[in-house]
Amino acid sequence: MKIIGLFIVILTGALLVYATVDFPPWGDPASPASTHLSPHYIEKSMEETSVPNIVTAVLADYRGFDTMFETAVIFAAGVACFFILRALRREGPEQRLYRHTLTDMTIRIKDASKISADLDEFERIDTLWTPRDLIVTTVCRLLIPFIQLFALYVIAHGHHSPGGGFQGGVILGASFILLAISHDLRTTLKRMREKMNGLLCATGVFIYAGTGALCLLFGFNFLDYSALASILHVDPVTARSHGILIVEIGVGIAVMATMIWIYNNLASSGKYDEGL
């Protein structure tokens, strides 16, 4: 079976390499990108999309179909990580470590169900426990809201300045990962449950694809945001700018949730019990 898989991979790679023969030479001045495409994007993007950031206009409007599937690939990576790593079955009661907050003693309990989750006297700690640094945890807790606020700015202002859904989503996801590293995985799971995490992954892709489907319903091309002018009560050019913002929000949600999803599974070996 491995030999068959290796053969398929080599054959596919050879076909892809062979297909590059049809590409124009590197730096060819007669290639479509050098003759009419690039000048059109540079000279007409502001006029056609009302977006000063040419990169965002190309990625989310002119080349929006490709970017949508890039978002879908990110979502697929999260789903693949879930199915490969997630351990849905628990094999009997596991031993857990707790710290008695009054005496600072660490105890090991064979059956963790004997301790109520409402007890404040016992603090759950990881088996491979490293003492927390009060300075690190406090500074991270203070910084995370500002990191998330900046991430929202990067998403919302990405079509006017450097940024966008991918960058803002990564920053948002990194803020949750920072919380998990500075505290523990359970602290992050209290703020982002697994079901909500998976739902947000799918929601981000749905926002992007749903926007394109809505354009089709109005009789326009897929992801032709000018179709939203009647809904948003703006002119078609401004509607394209607003449409870019809508899909960027979807990208940001998908990227953020997928990052958290993958980290949670990798850090806990799919058990969602103890992390790094």
Residue 239 lies in a domain: yes
Are 275 and 178 in contact by the 8 Å Cβ rule? The answer is no
Residue 109 lies in a domain: no
Are 259 and 173 in contact by the 8 Å Cβ rule? The answer is yes
Q: Cα separation of 229 and 227, whole Å? A: 6
pLDDT for position 161: 84
Q: Cα separation of 238 and 225, whole Å? A: 9
| Nearest alpha carbon to residue 128 among 14, 259, 269 | 269
Does residue 88 surpass a pLDDT of 80? no
Are 268 and 274 in contact by the 8 Å Cβ rule? The answer is yes
pLDDT digits (tens, 9 = 90+) for 197-209: 989 999 999 999 9
What band does 98 get if pLDDT is binned at 50, 70 and 90? low
Residue 229 lies in a domain: yes
| Nearest alpha carbon to residue 187 among 148, 131, 141 | 141
Q: Cα separation of 188 and 117, whole Å? A: 17
Residue 25 lies in a domain: no
Residue 244 lies in a domain: yes
Task: Give the predicted TM-score (pTM) of the model.
Answer: 0.79
Q: Which two tokens stand for residue 76?
A: 């697929």
The residue with tokens 């690939």 is: 73
Residue 93 lies in a domain: no
Count of the separate structural domains present in the chain: 1
pLDDT digits (tens, 9 = 90+) for 225-234: 999 988 888 9
Residue 167 lies in a domain: yes
Q: Which two tokens stand for residue 16?
A: 């892809």
Domain that holds residue 187: 52-88+133-268
Residue 14 lies in a domain: no
Give residue 157's Cα distance to chain centre. 18
pLDDT digits (tens, 9 = 90+) for 12-24: 999 999 988 888 8
